[in-house]
């Protein structure tokens, strides 16, 4: 277990006000200057803290907690010619006070800290890992699609703040969310199909006895400016647990980024909740950027967390401003620490399951460290027909709310289900990596009343299977298999092989069910997979996805890691072209663990 100085802890966990300009790894890649006054000395900082009242925080009296412009604006209005200038002054002054408090707070810290103690209040769901399954016993593998990404960005945060892989909290790592955090060059949709499908099979990097199959889905990307109008409700947690800089202030900045990209056709409402809920804005035009940002920047943290009440109010507002044929969505931002009203996962699931019938989607953005309730946030997003992302820095907010804005806000397909049927004449056993909490019963696949996952515009979904071939096939080269072409003698050896020559060549069939956002009846697509998908020269996407999964096996404390190692993951990543900054960052994360 690593230990870091108190300065490192506060800089990482509360980010000392500088979180708004740094990358997720802790270094400033933007090249921009901090928003606070870089010229303040330590003495001036302390004096400013005393003057502002921030020093009172240590005796139990909570200060404003975020950008509170009201008093500063009033004081400044007499000095400045316009309200705009006064507001700009107040915005700067509030940031400077936050920085001053953090600097004075550092002086009273201990020298070292223990990450595991700090994170004892975080909560994660625990799922039993499924090992290899016999095809003869279970020829069907059925699961719900997932485009959540929270687990990866949360893992990045934990590693950057001192955790070694063996010390990561149980349930914190979900391999499917690690895979789906990244983008891949999958096939685009063809014709009227909503997504393109890419499949590839090669030798499993960490298990010499298995093959590894990658299945990738990709929806068509949509420019948000050409998308249907959005009716958005920002449901924001302003309870006392949201005080620190990596919570409410980061939330305010993040939603400010989203606001910059909204248009006149959009409607925006803001609901906050602490001990009680409050409607801050109701149905304003998306191009009223200044008004929306002013409302965001005036928020303060304090009180309990009556989240269920806020959810009910948010759904009511969303229904009142409903746009027929548009994108109607609530975006909940919280640390998940609900402690008033409905608080358990079961109660929240029941509430959201009832509310989603209104045709309104619920997405969740997680913030903060120390007491995040990942289990509750994941439940809310899954049952609310939305996605779940974790925001650990402003760069992540930009990724989720700006770069992937259409993916985050626009649902292309809902209740997307996968079912893979393996050919028992070819495949002996298989194992799906991840998706433990997305498993469905085989009969759920064709049951349109059963809930499943949603896929947004431009989203990609990746699933990996370890596959053990029949001994007779495993001992043959690919060329030998192709030459046989299922001769009569070979069919007798394999046993009951279907007579259709096309089916005889198949390893498996991938079936996908999905619904259009406004429909209740699903459509079915089927993709037979044969030997033509096997390759000894896999693509960079395949190698990268396999490396992510291998790292995930180690980070999730898998019972089936075989020969997986961090060293091997790094070697694989160095052998390919990393096509974007997020993949490059993953390599850096792997190197940090080593």
Instruction: Find the distance separating the first CA and the last CA of the chain, reported in whole Å.
Output: 13
Q: Sort strands 195-203 and 4-5 into parallel, antiparallel or unpaired.
A: unpaired
Residue 340 near residue 306 (C-beta atoms within 8 A): yes
As separate numbers, helices (DSSP H) first and strands (DSSP E) second, the chain gives 21, 18
214, β-bridge pairs: 200, 464
For 586, other C-beta atoms within 10 Å of its C-beta total 22
* pLDDT at 480 (0 to 100): 55
* pLDDT at 10 (0 to 100): 35
* pLDDT at 67 (0 to 100): 38
The rounded distance, in Å, linking the Cα atoms of 324 and 160 is 44
* pLDDT at 477 (0 to 100): 57
362, β-bridge pairs: 330
The 10 Å CB-count burial string (b at 16+, else e) for 492-517 is eebeebeeeeeebbbbbbbbbbbbeb
Residue 33 near residue 111 (C-beta atoms within 8 A): no
Per-residue pLDDT of the chain (594 residues; tens, 9 = 90+): 443 333 333 333 333 333 333 467 654 433 333 333 333 444 344 333 333 333 333 333 343 334 344 444 444 444 444 444 444 444 444 444 444 444 433 333 333 444 444 446 899 998 999 999 999 999 999 999 989 999 999 999 999 988 999 999 999 999 999 999 999 999 999 888 999 999 999 999 999 999 999 999 999 888 888 889 999 999 999 998 898 999 999 999 999 999 999 999 999 999 999 888 899 999 999 999 999 999 999 999 988 877 778 888 999 999 999 999 899 999 999 988 766 555 566 777 777 877 777 889 999 999 998 888 999 899 889 888 889 999 999 999 999 999 999 889 899 999 999 999 999 989 999 999 999 999 999 999 999 999 999 999 999 999 999 999 987 555 555 555 555 433 343 444 444 444 444 445 789 999 999 999 888 999 999 999 998 899 999 999 999 999 999 999 999 999 999 999 999 999 999 999 999 999 999 999 999 998
Local structure of 264: helix, strand or coil: coil
| Host H or E run for residue 193 | none
The rounded distance, in Å, linking the Cα atoms of 158 and 183 is 22
For 70, other C-beta atoms within 10 Å of its C-beta total 13
For 41, other C-beta atoms within 10 Å of its C-beta total 9
Residues 6+ apart with CB under 8 A from 134: 428, 429
Identify each DSSP E strand in 239-345 by its residue range: 267-273, 277-285, 327-334
Residue 369 near residue 13 (C-beta atoms within 8 A): yes
Local structure of 590: helix, strand or coil: helix
Local structure of 512: helix, strand or coil: strand
* Half-sphere exposure (Cβ direction) of 34: Cα atoms closer than 13 Å: 16
Residue 407 near residue 195 (C-beta atoms within 8 A): no
* pLDDT at 472 (0 to 100): 58
Question: Which residue is it, tokens 């035009």?
Answer: 285
For 31, other C-beta atoms within 10 Å of its C-beta total 6
* pLDDT at 355 (0 to 100): 75
pTM for this entry: 0.78
Helix-helix angle 42-52:83-106, to 10 degrees = 110
Local structure of 428: helix, strand or coil: strand
* pLDDT at 358 (0 to 100): 82
Please tell me what DSSP assigns to residue 453: E
């Amino acid at each position: 277990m690593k230990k870091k100085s108190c300065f490192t802890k506060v800089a990482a966990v509360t980010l000392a006000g500088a979180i708004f300009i740094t990358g997720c790894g802790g270094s400033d890649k933007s090249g921009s200057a901090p928003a606070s006054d870089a010229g303040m000395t330590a003495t001036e900082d302390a004096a400013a803290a005393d003057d502002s009242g921030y020093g009172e925080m240590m005796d139990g009296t909570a200060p404003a907690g975020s950008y509170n412009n009201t008093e500063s604006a009033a004081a400044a209005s007499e000095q400045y010619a316009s309200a705009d200038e006064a507001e700009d002054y107040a915005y700067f002054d509030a940031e400077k006070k936050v920085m001053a408090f953090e600097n004075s707070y550092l002086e009273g810290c201990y020298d070292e800290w223990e990450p595991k103690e700090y994170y004892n209040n975080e909560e994660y769901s625990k799922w039993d890992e499924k090992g290899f399954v016999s095809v003869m016993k279970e020829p069907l593998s059925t699961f719900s699609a997932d485009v959540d990404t929270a687990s990866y960005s949360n893992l990045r945060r934990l590693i950057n703040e001192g955790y070694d892989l063996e010390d990561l909290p149980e349930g914190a790592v979900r391999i499917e969310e690690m895979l789906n955090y990244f983008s891949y060059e999958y096939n685009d949709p063809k014709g009227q199909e909503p997504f393109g499908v890419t499949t590839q099979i090669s030798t499993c990097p960490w298990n010499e006895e298995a093959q590894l199959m990658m299945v990738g889905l990709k929806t068509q990307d949509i420019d948000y400016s050409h998308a249907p109008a959005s009716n958005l409700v920002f449901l924001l947690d302003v309870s006392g647990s949201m005080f620190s800089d990596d919570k409410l202030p980061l939330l305010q900045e993040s939603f400010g980024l989203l606001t910059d990209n909204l248009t006149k056709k959009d409607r925006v409402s803001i609901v906050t909740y602490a001990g009680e809920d409050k409607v801050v804005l109701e149905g304003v035009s998306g191009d009223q950027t200044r008004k929306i940002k002013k409302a965001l920047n005036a928020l303060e943290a304090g009180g309990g967390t009556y989240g269920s009440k806020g959810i009910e109010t948010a759904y009511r507002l969303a229904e009142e401003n409903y746009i027929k044929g548009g994108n109607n969505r609530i975006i909940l931002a919280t640390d998940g620490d609900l402690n008033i009203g409905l608080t358990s996962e079961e109660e929240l699931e029941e509430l959201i399951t009832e509310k989603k019938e209104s045709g309104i989607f619920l997405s969740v953005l997680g913030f903060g460290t120390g007491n995040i309730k990942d289990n509750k946030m994941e439940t809310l997003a899954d049952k609310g027909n939305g996605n779940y992302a974790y925001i650990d820095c402003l760069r992540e907010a930009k990724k989720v709310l700006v770069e992937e804005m259409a993916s985050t806000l626009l649902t292309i397909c809902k209740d997307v289900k996968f079912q893979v049927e393996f050919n028992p004449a070819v495949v002996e056993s298989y194992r799906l990596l991840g998706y433990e909490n997305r498993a469905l019963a085989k009969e759920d696949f064709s049951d349109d009343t059963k809930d499943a996952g949603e896929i947004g515009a431009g989203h990609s979904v990746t699933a990996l299977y370890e596959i053990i071939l029949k001994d007779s096939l495993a001992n043959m080269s690919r060329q030998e298999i192709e030459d046989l072409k299922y001769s009569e003698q070979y069919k007798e050896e394999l046993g009951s092989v279907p007579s259709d020559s096309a089916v005889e060549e198949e390893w498996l069939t991938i079936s996908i069910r999905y619904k259009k956002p406004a429909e209740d009846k699903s459509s079915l697509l089927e993709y037979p997979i044969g030997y033509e998908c096997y390759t000894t020269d896999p693509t960079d996407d395949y190698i990268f996805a396999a490396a992510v999964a291998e790292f995930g096996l180690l980070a999730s404390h898998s019972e089936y890691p075989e020969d997986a190692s961090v060293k091997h993951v790094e070697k694989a990543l160095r052998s390919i072209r990393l096509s974007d900054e997020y993949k490059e960052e993953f390599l850096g994360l792997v190197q940090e663990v080593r």
